[in-house]
Amino acid sequence: MTHQEFKARFLPCHKKMYYIAFRYLGNEYDAEDMVQNTYLKLWEKRESLENIENNEAYAITTIKHLCLDTLRAPQIETDNDSVLVQKTEPAPQPDTAYEIKEDMKVLLNIINKLPEQQR
């Protein structure tokens, strides 16, 4: 796949990919980084993407998986003494936790309705 073919197939997905990343990650900088990471991953796999029927669905699925991987990974940062410290997040408020749980139920329901190959 040439550079121009790649751009024609995947650049139209940018807005949707950004929106999904923003919903998962919660800020514009991380969302934009995730979109760039997704383009990089797609570019690295470009030769195997020739037979993809729905480019947008593939890109959206890829960015969702990358976001989920990022959210599941332990957050590690260094302090001033260059010692690795595990970053902990405060527990969400009960109403926020409930909303997240409900959103996840809806998302899992939608994913379960997809054909096996798209899951």
pLDDT at 116: 74
Backbone angles phi, psi at 114, to 5 degrees: -70, 155
pLDDT band at 20 (very low <50, low <70, confident <90, very high): very high
Task: Give the length of the chain.
Answer: 119
Over residues 4-11, the mean pLDDT reads 90
Task: Give the residue extent of every domain in the chain.
Answer: 3-113
Mean pLDDT of the chain: 82
82: region left, alpha or beta (phi > 0 left; psi from -120 to 50 alpha): left
- Give the C-alpha separation, 79 to 25, whole Å: 23
Q: 3-113 adopts what CATH topology?
A: Rna Polymerase Sigma Factor; Chain: A (1.10.1740)
pLDDT band at 31 (very low <50, low <70, confident <90, very high): very high
